[in-house]
């Protein structure tokens, strides 16, 4: 297999500071300034296009986020009592999560050396606490999104 590539002059070479021929263009390490300017224009055009694409992506993400927020707002208006109950459940489950995390950290502190030294014990620990914590976080996220914003004058003290 033959390689038909023509070698490109490197842009990172020494600069020739000697007198340039009177009729020619200054040469920079084998590449003329015109060639370098052309490459820089191409880079600039590519960056401009990349910026345009990023702006389109941001606009698309913002539109999706706004639509999702509007749908949640409509759901909360259509189901105000359920949204209030979701808020109360989220607050109660948040307290449960705090207790669970306290128990988890106590377990880590008490068994730190065993968890570091034994892969079996570490796997047992992750199997014991990991899925519950992941599911608990998922439930809290859903309840928080569906809950109504608390009204400071009507916030109940207990669920």
pTM: 0.55
pLDDT, tens digit, 9 for 90 and up, residues 53-65 = 999 999 999 999 9
Backbone torsions φ then ψ of 134, nearest 5 degrees: -65, -45
Backbone torsions φ then ψ of 32, nearest 5 degrees: -75, 160
Of residues 156 and 127, more confidence is placed in 127
- Distance, in Å, from the CA atom of 89 to the CA atom of 143, rounded to the nearest integer, reads 7
Backbone torsions φ then ψ of 114, nearest 5 degrees: -65, -40
Give the torsion sign (CA, 55, 60, 65, 71).
positive
On whether the CB atoms of residues 8 and 30 are closer than 8 A, the answer is no
pLDDT, tens digit, 9 for 90 and up, residues 10-59 = 656 666 666 655 455 555 566 788 899 999 999 999 999 999 999 999 99
Among 9-18, 87-96, 143-152, name the one with the lowest average pLDDT.
Answer: 9-18
Residue 100, C-beta contacts closer than 8 angstroms, at least 6 positions apart: 132, 133, 136
Q: Domain residues of the chain, as ranges?
A: 26-78, 80-159
- Distance, in Å, from the CA atom of 25 to the CA atom of 19, rounded to the nearest integer, reads 11
């Amino acid at each position: 297999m033959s390689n038909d590539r023509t070698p490109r002059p490197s842009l990172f070479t020494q600069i020739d500071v000697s007198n340039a021929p009177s009729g020619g263009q200054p040469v920079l390490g084998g590449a003329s300034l015109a060639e370098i300017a052309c490459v820089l224009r191409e880079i600039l055009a590519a960056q401009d296009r990349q910026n345009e694409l990023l702006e389109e992506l941001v606009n698309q993400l913002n539109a999706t986020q706004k639509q999702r927020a509007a749908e949640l707002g409509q759901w909360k208006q259509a189901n105000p009592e359920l949204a209030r109950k979701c808020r109360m459940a989220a607050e109660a489950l948040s307290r449960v999560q705090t207790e669970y995390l306290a128990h988890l950290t106590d377990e880590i502190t008490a068994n730190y050396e065993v968890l570091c030294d034994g892969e079996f014990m570490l796997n047992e620990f992750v199997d014991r606490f990991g899925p519950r914590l992941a599911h608990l976080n998922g439930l809290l996220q859903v309840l928080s999104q569906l809950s109504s914003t608390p009204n400071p004058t009507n916030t109940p003290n207990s669920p």
